[in-house]
Amino acid sequence: MQTEIKVPAIGESITEVDIGEWLKKEGEAVAKDENIVSIESEKATVELPSPSAGTIVKILKAKGQTAVVGETIAMLDSNGAPAPKAPEPKPAAPAATVPSQSPRVMPAAERLLAENQLRADQVQGTGPGGRILKEDVARHAETKVTLPAPPDKSAAPPPLPAKAALAPARDSNRPDEVVPMNRLRRTVAQRLVEAQRTTASLTTFNEVDLHEVMALRKQFQDTFVEKHSVKLGFMSFFVKAAIEALKAIPQVNAEIRGNDIVYHRYYDIGVAIGGGKGLVVPVLRNAERLSFAQIETAIAEFAKRAKENKLTLEELQGGTFTISNGGVYGSMLSTPILNPPQSGILGMHNIQERPVVRDSQIVIRPMMYLALTYDHRIVDGREAVTFLKKIKDLLESPARMLLEI
């Protein structure tokens, strides 16, 4: 008996996915619940398990193609016997001339057509029934060459602009590579633009002396690793400090819903991580209940699975506040972008030793710039500055976090 492998519903508002790597080929046997293909949505990449044991007899959607939720992407023979491949169909005899119909264009392909200023009748579709797929448009756009019009020898050549000589001529020795954005990257781009359009974003800055935090890490690192099998990093200190600051300034832990302000009385902290296919923000649920070790363990696990594209949708949804650490890439200062509907995001940056004055003496200290981007519709400037100052004070005297003072 043959079973259809369909795209499942993998999240609220997700209607379309991209087909990723096929883990099984046509003719290969597969066990029940064994992963057979990865599918990529705008939120995450997940692997689709087989509903029963059998043999993959037909793959209907290749890697890179688009499929809608509920669409059949493969056929499984649950009897387990590999089915012979169907013979190639012979070309049909030319049909009588009839009015031509416009080829069907898949949604992802339609977007690429618009981006490349192409018409559907310019692209040869390779999908079922001549459908135009996203890869058909990308292939055509990559190979498209625009020929210049023949010169009018009778007319005098127009004068070149002053800067024209600075622009290098395009030739075959300077090729371009056209790569369509994956679904995650497209979604990130759309949401970043949407955040700038729908929020009243403003950023305030401060700097923090991490001498005491680094001293604590050095003093207890070996014992911490021996007991918890994970290193004591900086992120757990920042998460703890952010939670205390959010308790003091609840507007930063709130969001706008219509004409209402919703104050969250829990602390789900999103931690921005560079994943295998782009930036992802997994969420530490009820972070106020987590110990330093639990925070460090959770973040390390998030980072590992982000590189493998194995984070689940539930881990990427929600969040009341976000922390982004551009310092791991060497950033000295930046203005992070809000992650709506959240009203605040904290940006960490590179640690550099700089001369500062302490007790009327110039000393060298490990300093970091901090940036808080906030939604000015909810958070006033005084509250934003107070929030960032609270984090600074806690990190410069980390024992206060343990004593809750």
What is the pLDDT, as a whole number, of residue 146? Answer: 44
Q: What letter would DSSP give residue 349?
A: -
In tens, the pLDDT along 200-220 reads: 999 999 999 999 999 999 999
Q: Give the pLDDT band (50/70/90) at residue 98.
A: very low
Q: Of 22, 56, 77, which residue constitutes the final position of a domain?
A: 77
Share of the chain above pLDDT 90, in %: 46
| Residues with catalytic roles | 376, 380
pLDDT 10s digits, 306-350: 888 788 878 888 899 999 999 888 999 999 999 889 999 999 999
Task: State pLDDT tens for residues 273-293.
Answer: 887 667 789 999 999 999 999
The secondary structure element, H or E, covering residue 226 is helix 211-228
DSSP 97-166: P----PPPB-HHHHHHHHHTT--GGGS---SGGGPBPHHHHHHHHHH--PPPPPP-TTSPPPPPPTTGGG
Query: 378: domain CATH number?
Result: 3.30.559.10
Q: Which two tokens stand for residue 239?
A: 């998460």
Q: Does the residue 60 lie in any domain?
A: yes
Same domain (yes/no): 207, 72: no
Digit-coded pLDDT (tens) for 241-272? 999 999 999 999 999 999 999 999 999 999 99
Residue 314: predicted pLDDT: 82
Q: List beta partners, residue 29.
A: 55
DSSP string, 359-401: TTEEEEEEEEEEEEEEETTT--HHHHHHHHHHHHHHHHSTHHH
The answer to whether residue 184 is domain-embedded is no
Is 108 a member of any domain? no
Q: How far is CA 86 from CA 1, 49, 65, 83, 170, in A?
A: 17, 26, 22, 9, 46
Domain boundary, last residue among 77, 103, 118: 77
Q: Pick from 294, 282, 283: which is nearest to 229 by CA?
A: 294
Element (H, E) at 402: helix 399-403
Residue 160 is assigned to a structural domain of this protein: no
- Which of residues 105 and 381 earns the better pLDDT score? 381
CB-CB contact of 345 with 333 (8 Å): no
Same domain, 397 and 260: yes
- Mean pLDDT is lowest, of 32-36, 252-256, 292-296, for 32-36
Tell me the average pLDDT across 138-154: 58
Within a domain: residue 197?
no
**Residue 161 belongs to a domain:** no
146 domain-assigned: no
Tally of domains within the chain: 2
Q: In CATH, what number is assigned to the domain containing residue 40? A: 2.40.50.100
**In this predicted structure, which of 66-70, 73-77, 123-127 has the lowest mean pLDDT?**
123-127
Would 97 be classed as within a structural domain?
A: no
The pLDDT value recorded for residue 132 is 81
Q: Which candidate, 92, 70, 74, 91, places its Cα nearest to that of 83?
A: 74
**Residue range(s) defining the domain that contains residue 307:** 202-403
**Residue that terminates a domain, selected from 77, 110, 131:** 77
Separation between Cα atoms, residue 211 and residue 402, nearest integer Å: 17
| CB-based contact 82:57 (threshold 8 Å) | yes
Residue 70, Ramachandran bin (φ over 0: left; ψ between -120 and 50: alpha; else beta):
left
> What confidence score (pLDDT) does residue 97 get?
42
